[in-house]
């Protein structure tokens, strides 16, 4: 607390990120990082971007990154916005597109940065409960609102909605912006980008942090109607004209262009996920159906916080949320086969003891 703070600062509830601890031999399954590392082509492109040219400012329009996204998804450059992480793209989206007289709708259990942005920008939000299977039911969003945001697949449940459900949501709200946060879509979800040609109220946000294994580079993007993108550009250029440096731009272009590498590593994660789910079920866990690079699981006979603490003693980090309805679940990122086998061995040792 400081008497020098602006009033708005006193009212903020900042987001709490998963821990980034450094420990030899640590199995880090708590922040949904990708175990396979970025495309070698992206690494080479970034190395080539380090040099004397860094004395100049980067391209404020992010044209090369926009064109890479446009190429990949069959869009025009004017349909693409690029930011320094999808968290930043989300922040600009909340400010530019989601603050209206009527409340914003979002799921009660979802990415916990959404309420944080609402408090930062003074946006009134109504949290719509997930159904009893922890799914988003789009019929529950048929109520007066100023805008809607959901994650698909949702976090931290991992459950994805099929494209026709997303389309029903977008079609039911022609006068509101509907934002779909697709941070995990490449691990088996269906992207709403396919709907962009038909709906001018749809904005889809993706990140290079998960399926492109570039969480440390901080690049995200949004795609949608040029009018939505122009609104985001106005906010961005009132905040920071150069959010991406030259190295990030070069790495992002190469990573997006190397679709084969992303697909191959995502398939490996999907295969490991199926193996881990089967192992966890054999140990008595309930595991929600996941289309993400993590699973959300609970054990009917064991407390989640105690399990997380026991794993931590064995140098395995998973995420536990002290939040109503989900405080008996663990969110476990899919690591390599070896890391997931270590997790299963640790759970086998732990379960009789807890």
Q: Which residues bind ligand PLP (CB under 6 A)?
A: 85-87, 111, 151, 155, 181, 183, 207, 209, 215, 220
Contacts of 341 (CB under 8 A, 6+ apart): none
- What are the tokens at 73? 């998804």
CB of 333 to ligand PLP, least distance (A): 11
- Element containing residue 342 per DSSP (H, E): helix 337-350
How near is the Cβ of 110 to ligand PLP at its closest, in Å?
Answer: 7
- Minimum CB distance to ligand PLP, residue 283 (Å): 26
Give, for 127, the enclosing helix (H) or strand (E).
strand 125-128
Smallest distance, ligand PLP to C-beta of residue 307, A? 22
DSSP for 166-195 reads HHHHHHT-TTSEEEEE-TTGGGT---GGGG
Contacts of 60 (CB under 8 A, 6+ apart): 237, 241, 242
CA gap 161, 176 in Å, rounded: 20
Beta bridge partners of 71: none
For residues 170 and 219, which CB has a smaller minimum distance to ligand PLP in the complex? 219
SS3 of residue 203 by DSSP: strand
Rounded CA Rg of the chain: 20
The CB-of-94 to ligand PLP minimum distance in angstroms stands at 12
Of the pair 219, 340, the CB lying nearest ligand PLP is at 219
Residue 199 Cβ vs ligand PLP, minimum distance, rounded to whole Å: 21
The angle at the Cα of 297, spanning 292 to 299, to the nearest 5 degrees, equals 170
CA–CA separation, 156 and 319 (whole Å): 10
Minimum CB distance to ligand PLP, residue 116 (Å): 12
**Whole-angstrom distance, CA of residue 271 vs CA of residue 334:** 10
Please identify, using beta-carbon distances, which residue of 317 and 347 lies nearer to ligand PLP: 317
12, 31, 158, 307 from 331: Cα distances, Å: 26, 9, 9, 12
- Using DSSP's 3-state secondary structure scheme, residue 345 falls into helix
For the CB of residue 188, give the shortest distance to ligand PLP in the complex, in Å. 15
| Closer residue to ligand PLP, CB minimum distance, 207 or 291 | 207
Q: Six-digit token pair at 330?
A: 């663990």
- Enclosing H/E stretch for 349: helix 337-350
- Angstrom distances, CA of residue 66 to CA of 88, 254, 314: 16, 12, 44
Q: Report the residue number, 116 or 279, with the smaller CB distance to ligand PLP.
A: 116
Tell me how far, at minimum, the Cβ of 151 lies from ligand PLP, in Å: 4
């Amino acid at each position: 607390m400081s008497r020098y703070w602006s009033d708005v600062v006193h009212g903020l509830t900042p987001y709490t990120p998963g821990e980034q601890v450094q420990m030899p031999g640590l199995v880090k399954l708590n922040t949904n990082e990708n175990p396979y590392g970025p495309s070698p082509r992206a690494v080479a492109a970034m190395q080539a971007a380090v040099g004397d040219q860094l004395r100049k400012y980067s391209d404020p329009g992010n044209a090369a990154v926009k064109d890479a996204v446009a190429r990949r998804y069959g869009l025009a450059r004017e349909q693409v916005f690029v930011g320094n992480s999808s968290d930043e793209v989300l922040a600009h989206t909340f400010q530019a597109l989601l603050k209206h007289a009527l409340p914003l709708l979002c799921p009660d259990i979802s990415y916990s940065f959404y309420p944080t942005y609402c408090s930062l920008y003074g946006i009134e939000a109504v949290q719509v409960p997930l159904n009893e299977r922890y799914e988003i039911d789009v019929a529950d969003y048929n109520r007066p609102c100023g805008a809607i945001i959901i994650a698909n697949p949702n976090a931290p449940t991992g459950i994805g909605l099929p494209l026709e459900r997303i389309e029903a949501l977008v079609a039911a709200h022609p006068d509101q912006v509907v934002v779909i946060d697709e941070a995990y879509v490449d691990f088996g979800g269906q992207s709403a980008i396919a709907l962009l040609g038909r709906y001018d109220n749809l904005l889809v946000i993706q990140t290079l942090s998960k399926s492109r294994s570039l969480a440390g580079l901080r690049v995200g993007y949004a795609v949608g109607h040029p009018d939505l993108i122009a609104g985001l550009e106005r906010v961005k250029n009132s905040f920071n004209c150069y959010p991406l440096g030259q190295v990030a731009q070069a790495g992002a272009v190469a990573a997006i262009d190397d679709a084969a590498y992303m697909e191959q590593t995502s398939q490996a994660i999907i295969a490991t996920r199926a193996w881990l789910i089967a192992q966890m079920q054999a140990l008595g866990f309930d595991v929600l159906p996941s289309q993400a690079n993590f699973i959300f699981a609970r054990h009917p006979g064991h407390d989640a916080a105690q399990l997380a603490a026991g794993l931590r003693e064995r140098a395995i980090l998973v995420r536990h949320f002290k939040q109503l309805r989900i405080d008996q679940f663990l969110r476990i990122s899919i690591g390599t086969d070896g890391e997931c086998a270590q997790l299963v061995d640790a759970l086998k040792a732990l379960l009789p003891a807890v």
